[in-house]
Amino acid sequence: MSLTHLSLFSGIGGLDIAAEMARIRTVGQCEWADFQTKILEKHWPDVPRWRDIRTLTAESFYERTGLRTVDIISGGFPCQPFSVAGERKGKDDDRYLWPEMLRVIREIRPTWVIGENVPGIINLALDTVLSDLEDERYSAQAFVIPACGVDAPHKRERVCIVAYSINRCSTLRWDRELPNTFEDAGERNDNRRGAEGTVQGERRKDESGVAGMADGISENIYETASNSESKRLQGFADPQICWGGGTTGIS
């Protein structure tokens, strides 16, 4: 059985394509704009769709999909409240729709939450987003990842928010070999490296693209807001990860 995915603020389906590549089934989409909706209708004609997130409720989701919950809810909630182009009004902007995404998360209770936004959210609302997720019993962290870290020819940093349900975590069988922290996972990867010094599927440090990305971003993890010793992200991901050590000169 494949994992299930509910896509909020779907746009033209970028995260939906990523889900397909990972063999995750998108079971619902929500998109306001007409042009983007036409793209979604063309490529996902059988997927139930909402035009206004305020109409997406647990009841309507069940009526249209037959599902009570999903494994993943993703959403690049509108960035205009946090971007320079949108005058950075933050929570005073009518397009500040994080509370609606949070409501959908609260009602549907996915195992995972994936959020995306512009770096301007860091000083305006990221504390609120992480605290809200914690209040709903999710363990949440945010990372700044540049597009050049995955071979795009430009920098274009984005804040990625990843949250996992603490309630679901507590039901796991802890006799399995599961990492408790990112550090534990890194240690196990070190132990799995073969003669060429790589984990299966991992690029060597001298290769371009994502190689070394974790090294560049690890110092910029934005810890959950309730952590009294949390780091407040001042800079962004290490530009030296771009193009295998060189930068593009494009910001």
Q: What are the residue numbers of the active site?
A: 79
The Cα angle at residue 123 between residues 82 and 241, in degrees rounded to 5:
90
- Can you list the alpha helix ranges (DSSP code H) found in the chain? 14-21, 34-43, 58-65, 98-108, 121-124, 126-135, 166-169, 182-192, 213-217
CB-CB neighbours of 156 under 10 Å: 15
- 93 token code pair: 């902007």
Residues 6+ positions from 31 with CB-CB distance below 8 Å: 9, 10, 11, 37, 40, 49, 51
Backbone φ, ψ for residue 123 (5° rounding):
-90, -10
- 226 token code pair: 């309730």
